[in-house]
Structure formats: structure tokens, C-alpha cells
Amino acid sequence: MSGDFDRSQLRRIGSLRDPAQEEPTYEEYHPDGTHAWSDDAPIAPDWFPYNRCEVWECAGCGRPFLRYTEFGGYYTDERIRELRAERVARPPHAEPPSGTAAG
Ligand SMILES: [Zn+2]
């Protein structure tokens, strides 16, 4: 991620969050040992943090961005990453999203 854009130019165009999922999984998808928000990490919409991201677009250049806001007790942590089609991956879940609804 880079900071070479003006956040005030961003406008919200949608969300990756599935309204049917009350508590999206916190599992991450990193087959190549990347970390969340690594520049080369896969963007897996069904996996954390993308399953809680909103999609924003830069009004200046039209580039789409993923934006995730983490709400802690006394802080909010905002992450923004450019949405690049070649990074998007849709792997199946190796494990069920939560242990409560199995079978
Ligand atoms: Zn821009």
C-alpha cells in the first residue's frame, strides 16, 4: 500500500461484506506466506480482512481501493489497499468459517 493518493478523493461504491454472514471469518488466505496487506497478498473476498472491507473509488483517477476499519476499544485502525484484479482469488475454505454451525 502506498500513500500517494488523496483520501478525500475517495468515494464509497460498495462493500465486500456478505449481509447473510453475521460474523464473517477471521481466517486469512496466504498460500505463499504473505501477510495481510502485503503488496502481493491475494485478495480473497471470502476471507479476512476482505470479507469486512468496503470498496472505494478515487474520484481523481478511478482506481478502486479496499478499505477496512478495525474498531478497538479506544482506537480505530484504518487500512487501505488498491484493489487489483490480478490479485483477486476465490479459494474454497479449508475449514468452516466458524465452529458453531458445522454439520
Ligand atoms: Zn487517484
Each domain of the chain, given as residue ranges in start order, spans: 7-87
Span from the CA of 10 to the centroid of ligand 1 (angstroms): 8
The β-bridge relationship of strands 54-58 and 76-82 is unpaired
DSSP 89: -
Answer whether residue 98 shows pLDDT above 80: no
Please report where in the chains the cell 479449508 appears, as a residue: 94
CA 42 to chain centre: 10
What pLDDT digit, counting tens, does each position of 36-81 carry? 889 899 999 999 999 999 999 999 999 999 999 988 888 888 899 9
Span from the CA of 31 to the centroid of ligand 1 (angstroms): 30
Cell of 101: 454451525
**Cβ atoms 55, 10 nearer than 8 A:** no
Span from the CA of 61 to the centroid of ligand 1 (angstroms): 4
Span from the CA of 67 to the centroid of ligand 1 (angstroms): 14
- pLDDT score recorded for residue 1: 45
pTM of the model as a whole: 0.78
Q: Which residue type, as a one-letter code, is found at position 77? A: D
Query: What does 71-85 look like in DSSP terms, one character per residue?
Result: E-SS-EEEEEEE--G
What three-state secondary structure class fits 70?
strand
Span from the CA of 39 to the centroid of ligand 1 (angstroms): 18
